[in-house]
């Protein structure tokens, strides 16, 4: 029997359950593919396609996280692409094969989030200690080992919890992103049509970025100085497709809150510092050589505002963590009890959908990871103490994150807050143990890297195991393929971090979370942090929380340069306007299609940006670039004639960026109108038949 006929038979042999059904016990739930059915699942095609997508989304999300500190989910776009390739081009592919492909792709995205949020901090430390021959020196291989072992811990710690969190808690823990992706897989007949949206968005955004930065046909950054109005600041826009797409994905409210934070920083705090700073006759710390009166708005951001923003981000993360404390306590206790109950007397299950990786193998790998961390002081400077802290904090927060994402989803998981909590505890323990100076900072940051990556992957595999539970996958294959994807994705993510580290150091790539981790750690260990600025930022975030507004998006806007938030808002406005104009019955389909297009735009923009950055490195001309990731070997051949006039160049950029907005608007509205017509036709035909 062919793969296609097997899949058809699997679809016909059961009554399709609703994954949203909350009244069914997990033990009684009948998955889309029954346990007794044997259809192709792990194949060589799945392995190749899954690894390619893991690298693809790892590079894209890694680049985006370096740029603005945000990532986008890869599960649904990966599932759609998988269905298009397996069923469209190869004329084969089952729902279980598609499930494994998207599982592996999501590893790349989640690993990018955990790694980019922390690993660049090690490069910032090395740069700050460039005259110290004993300083910790990060390399590509060290970054790879940290990403690989941290990700493996996140996956392995979740495996013993699967039967409790995924099966026994079915109906209580909804795992919203996992449930949504399962619905997409079950409705996979539209895979080819939806994939065209993803691929066209990738191509459009990639072409836009290539012509803008690679050939130099129009400027990327638009800046309008307000100095002529007597206002010492500037209004700027970074006209990238990925920023437009991120705005659509996160929605108008989050975009608006981010823009409010940016407006406070650039239109209130920077002008106030500039106004009163003209009276300073000596540099004001943390600036060491420049007077405030000599600084541009960007200089004031670098020396003062970003520390205020860092304090706000830290407070926002800690508030998110604090709100989760009741859930954390309940989750950890429940998870441990469930894990112990699930492990009592249970050997190899004879039911396909209950087969996990054997517990002895899981524990053996975890012990091996602990020993490797303990003896590899080149990767983990604090040896067995750091290994113990990394394993303990990773285990604790993975059990917590696995339950939190089941309640509120991955996007609302306080990843930064949990990492900051682990980092603060690690700094305190290391200081008590006598660690100080650059060695203490490196030791604390390394532990934080392991913990953050483990938390991110723990939440990711929880969603993927839920998807597998709903569609009838074999848990063992989900777990094994994710471990394989960790190795490959770690290589690509480590490459991103290592290649673009100079851009992080020069602030061309902002990497806000990594900068925050570095500043906090160095400040706690050595006392070099400008605490007055950090505390001001923390109180700003506290005031925002008092107004019942989520402080973390506001804090991120305050920390990031204005040109990012001003561009993101366009995507949020498109999402708000299209959802407002469409009838309620058509909004879900329109929003889903918009998310696919936006995800494609992020991927296309980021991947071309990565490629251009690598070209720049190879050409050895990065020092000549204003935007570090632009290959000026092309740009230096000359601008187009219209760019010789700044206003004309800005006008061209606005027109072309408006074209991207129109494209996204058209994709959403055309899908919504078609869905509305279909709903109307169904109602009309139903009325006639009755």
Q: How far apart are CA 242 and CA 576, in angstroms?
A: 18
Asked if 309 and 553 touch (Cβ cutoff 8 Å), the reply is no
pLDDT-based confidence at residue 480 (cuts at 50, 70, 90): very high
Bridge partners of residue 222, in order along the sequence: 237
- What is the pLDDT at residue 544? 94
Which residues, in sequence order, are CB contacts of 570 under 8 Å at separation 6+? 244, 247, 657, 661
Asked if 69 and 75 touch (Cβ cutoff 8 Å), the reply is no
Which residues, in sequence order, are CB contacts of 369 under 8 Å at separation 6+? 149, 152, 153, 156, 391
Q: State the first-to-last Cα distance of the chain, in angstroms, to the nearest integer.
A: 42
- CA distances 134 to 126, 232, 415, 442, Å, are 10, 43, 32, 11
Position of tokens 């400027």?
Answer: 219
pLDDT of 164 over the 70 cut: yes
DSSP assignment of 619-686 equals HT-GGG-SSTTS-HHHHTT---GGGGSHHHHHHHHHHHHHHHHHHHHHHHHHHHHHHHHHHHHHHHHH
pLDDT tens column, 540-562? 999 999 998 888 789 888 888 88
pLDDT tens column, 418-469? 787 788 888 889 888 888 888 888 899 999 999 999 998 988 888 888 888 8
| Helix (H) / strand (E) containing 358 | none
Position of tokens 């961390």?
Answer: 373
Residue 247, burial from CB neighbour count under 10 angstroms (0-12, 13-18, 19+): buried
237: its two tokens: 């826009």
Using a pLDDT cut of 70, give the percent of the chain over it: 82
Query: Poorest-confidence range of 102-111, 305-314, 366-375, 476-485?
Result: 305-314
pLDDT tens column, 505-521? 887 887 888 888 888 88
What is the chain's mean pLDDT, rounded? 80
Q: How far apart are CA 257 and CA 316, in angstroms?
A: 13
Question: Which of 596, 592, 401, 461 is CA-nearest to residue 178?
Answer: 461
pLDDT-based confidence at residue 131 (cuts at 50, 70, 90): low
The torsion of the CA quartet 464, 465, 468, 474, rounded to 10 degrees, works out to 130
**Of 209 and 177, which is predicted with more confidence?**
209
DSSP assignment of 572-608 equals HHHHHHHHHHS-HHHHHHHHHHHHHHHHHHHHHHHHH
pLDDT of 85 over the 50 cut: yes
With helix as H, strand as E and coil as C, how does 313-344 read?
A: HHHHHHHHHHHCHHHHHHHHHHHHHHHHHHHC
pLDDT of 21 over the 50 cut: no
Which residues, in sequence order, are CB contacts of 366 under 8 Å at separation 6+? 153, 156, 157, 391
- CA distances 455 to 59, 410, 414, 474, Å, are 20, 11, 10, 23
Question: Which of 315, 215, 309 is CA-nearest to residue 263?
Answer: 309
pLDDT tens column, 633-643? 444 444 454 45
Q: How far apart are CA 495 and CA 492, in angstroms?
A: 5
Average pLDDT over residues 71-76: 72
- Judged by phi (left if over 0) then psi (alpha if -120 to 50, else beta), residue 523 lies in alpha
Question: Which of 404, 467, 351, 461 is CA-nearest to residue 27?
Answer: 351
- What is the pLDDT at residue 11? 36
Q: How far apart are CA 251 and CA 320, in angstroms?
A: 20
Asked if 274 and 266 touch (Cβ cutoff 8 Å), the reply is no
What pTM does this model have?
Answer: 0.75
pLDDT tens column, 608-617? 887 777 676 6
């Amino acid at each position: 029997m062919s793969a296609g006929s097997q899949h058809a038979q699997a679809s016909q042999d059961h009554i399709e359950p609703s994954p949203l059904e909350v009244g069914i016990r997990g033990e009684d739930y009948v998955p889309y593919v029954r346990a007794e059915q044997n259809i192709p699942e792990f194949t060589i095609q799945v392995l190749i396609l899954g690894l390619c997508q893991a690298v693809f989304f790892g590079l894209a999300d890694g680049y985006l996280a370096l740029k603005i500190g945000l990532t986008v989910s890869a599960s649904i776009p990966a599932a759609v692409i998988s269905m298009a390739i397996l069923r469209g081009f190869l004329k084969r592919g089952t729902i279980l094969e598609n499930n494994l492909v998207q599982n592996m792709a999501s590893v790349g995205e989640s690993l990018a989030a955990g790694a980019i949020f922390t690993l660049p901090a090690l490069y910032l430390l090395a740069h700050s200690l460039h005259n110290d021959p004993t300083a910790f020196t990060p390399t590509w291989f060290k970054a790879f080992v940290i990403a690989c072992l941290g990700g493996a811990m996140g996956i392995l710690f979740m495996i013993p919890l699967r039967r409790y969190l995924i099966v026994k808690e079915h109906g209580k823990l909804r795992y919203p992103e996992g449930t949504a992706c399962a619905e997409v897989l079950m409705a996979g007949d539209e895979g080819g049509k939806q994939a065209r949206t993803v691929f066209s968005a990738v191509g459009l955004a990639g072409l836009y970025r290539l012509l803008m930065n690679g050939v130099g046909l129009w400027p990327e950054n638009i800046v309008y100085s307000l100095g002529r109005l007597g206002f010492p600041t500037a209004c700027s826009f970074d006209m990238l497709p990925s920023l437009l797409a991120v705005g659509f994905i996160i929605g108008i409210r989050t975009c608006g809150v981010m823009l409010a934070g940016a407006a406070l920083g650039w239109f209130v705090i920077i002008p106030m510092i500039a106004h009163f700073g003209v009276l300073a006759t000596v540099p004001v710390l943390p600036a060491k050589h420049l007077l405030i009166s000599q600084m541009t708005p960007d200089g004031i951001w670098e020396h003062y505002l970003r520390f205020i923003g860092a304090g706000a981000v830290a407070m926002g993360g800690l508030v998110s963590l604090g709100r989760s404390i009741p859930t954390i306590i309940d989750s950890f206790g429940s998870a441990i009890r469930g894990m112990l109950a699930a492990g009592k007397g249970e050997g190899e299950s004879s039911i396909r959908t209950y087969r996990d990786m054997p517990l002895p193998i899981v524990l053996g790998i975890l012990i091996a990871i602990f020993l490797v961390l303990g003896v590899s002081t080149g990767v983990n400077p604090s040896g067995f103490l750091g290994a113990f802290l990394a394993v303990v904090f990773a285990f604790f927060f993975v059990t917590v994150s696995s339950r939190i994402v089941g309640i509120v989803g991955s996007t609302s998981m306080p990843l930064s807050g949990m990492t900051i909590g682990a980092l603060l505890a690690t700094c305190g323990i290391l200081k008590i143990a006598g660690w100080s100076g650059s060695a203490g900072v490196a030791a604390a940051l390394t532990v934080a890297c392991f913990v953050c990556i483990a938390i991110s992957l723990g939440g990711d595999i929880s969603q993927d195991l839920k998807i597998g539970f709903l569609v009838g996958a074999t848990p063992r294959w989900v777990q094994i393929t994710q471990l394989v994807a960790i190795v490959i994705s770690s290589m690509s993510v480590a490459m991103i971090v290592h290649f673009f580290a100079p851009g992080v150091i020069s602030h061309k790539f902002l990497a806000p979370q990594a900068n925050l981790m570095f500043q906090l750690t160095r400040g706690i260990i050595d006392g070099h942090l400008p605490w007055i600025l950090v505390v001001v930022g923390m109180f700003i975030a506290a005031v925002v929380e008092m107004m019942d507004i989520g402080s973390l998006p506001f804090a991120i806007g305050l920390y990031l340069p204005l040109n990012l938030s001003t561009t993101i808002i366009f995507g949020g406005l498109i999402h708000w306007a299209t959802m407002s104009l469409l009838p309620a019955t058509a909004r879900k389909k329109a929003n889903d299609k918009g998310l696919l297009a936006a995800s494609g735009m992020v991927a296309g923009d980021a991947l071309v940006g990565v490629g251009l950055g690598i070209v720049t490195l190879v050409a050895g001309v990065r020092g000549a670039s204003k935007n570090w990731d632009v290959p000026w070997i092309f740009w230096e051949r000359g601008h187009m004639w219209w760019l010789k006039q700044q206003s004309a160049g800005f006008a061209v950029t606005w027109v072309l960026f408006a074209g991207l907005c129109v494209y996204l608007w058209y994709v959403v509205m055309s899908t919504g109108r078609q869905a509305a017509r279909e709903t109307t036709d169904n109602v009309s035909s139903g009325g006639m038949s009755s």
